[in-house]
Amino acid sequence: MVSIVRTLPSIRSLLPRASSSISKIMDSSSNAGMGGSQRLLALAQHLRQYKAPSFPEDIVEQRIEESGSKVVSQVGFPEAATPVGQNSEKFRPKKAAVLICLFEGDDGDLRVILTKRSSELSTHSGEVALPGGKAEEGDKDDGDTAKREAKEEIGLDPELVNVVSVLEPFLSKHLLRVVPVIGILNDKKAFKPVLNPAEVEAVFDAPLEMFLKDENRRQEEREWMGEKYLLHFFDYGAGHKKYLIWGLTAGILIRAASVVYQRPPAFLEQNPKFKVPQNVSNDTILP
């Protein structure tokens, strides 16, 4: 089995160029004359400049849909791909999308909506997640999937969300291809959560910038077919409740925060470059 490795440019070269940093855009004290809606408009314009990295001969979506024989890494960087061997016809990763719904908090900070999954679910029960789920036949694109799922899970009206960017796909441990969709919620007060108890126990929000800071964070080293990588765990308290944000959700939010704030995290990510065994199938689970 031969590993096909492509070297991507640094994260700074992948981030959108802007005349002023996003920190300044969202800093209410330095933009006293700019209202909240204006700041979010500037943020939206900033994020529309972002282009997810792609392979020279193909974009990630086409590579998966057309060949079905390679996968991207779990944390969303398409740095390494490996042929899945003679049984490649068994491996067709199902598509999913999650919504990174950003809004301006009362203190002018940028925040993201998160959920705690129902304890009754068969997979990832009780874990913190972004709103989202598997694509359905009627969905026009990943943005459609993410917004539809958010409405089903937490009652978020799709008309309230302005999709401004799409990040590169991640691969979950169940080999589910997950596309993060960044959306702006201009009117937070118009969002009246209605939870689907079969899927969601709670909805809360957290500051996006926390996923770049080495605070209330720990990590665990894992290994997959000789490749070592780090899983990140963030502790967060909202009111009297405490939440643990980790794994795929943490990886997606680290990436999103890096794109939004135009800087890498203050800690080592050590992203995996997963190799896929020749007997991979849709029942395979990564560690």
Question: Per-residue pLDDT tens for 184-215?
Answer: 999 999 999 999 999 999 999 999 999 999 99
Of residues 44 and 279, the one with the higher pLDDT is 44
Please state, in angstroms and rounded to a whole number, the distance separating the CA atoms of residues 165 and 48: 6
Q: Kindly indicate the confidence band of residue 275, based on its pLDDT and cuts at 50, 70 and 90.
A: low
Please state, in angstroms and rounded to a whole number, the distance separating the CA atoms of residues 162 and 156: 12
Q: What is the pLDDT of residue 122?
A: 63
Instruction: Tell me the Cα Rg of the chain.
Output: 19
Q: What is the pLDDT of residue 174?
A: 72
Q: What is the pLDDT of residue 255?
A: 95
Q: What is the pLDDT of residue 54?
A: 59
Please state, in angstroms and rounded to a whole number, the distance separating the CA atoms of residues 272 and 38: 38
User: Which segment of 80-84, 120-124, 137-141, 263-267 scores lowest on mean pLDDT?
Assistant: 80-84
Q: Could you tell me what percent of the chain has a pLDDT over 70?
A: 67
Q: Judge whether residue 60 has pLDDT over 70.
A: no
Q: What is the pLDDT of residue 39?
A: 85
Q: Kindly indicate the confidence band of residue 92, based on its pLDDT and cuts at 50, 70 and 90.
A: low
Q: What is the pLDDT of residue 59?
A: 42
Q: Judge whether residue 282 has pLDDT over 50.
A: yes
Q: Judge whether residue 252 has pLDDT over 90.
A: yes
Average pLDDT along the chain:
77
User: Which segment of 60-74, 79-93, 211-225 scores lowest on mean pLDDT?
Assistant: 60-74
pLDDT tens-digit map of 1-19:
322 222 333 344 444 444 4
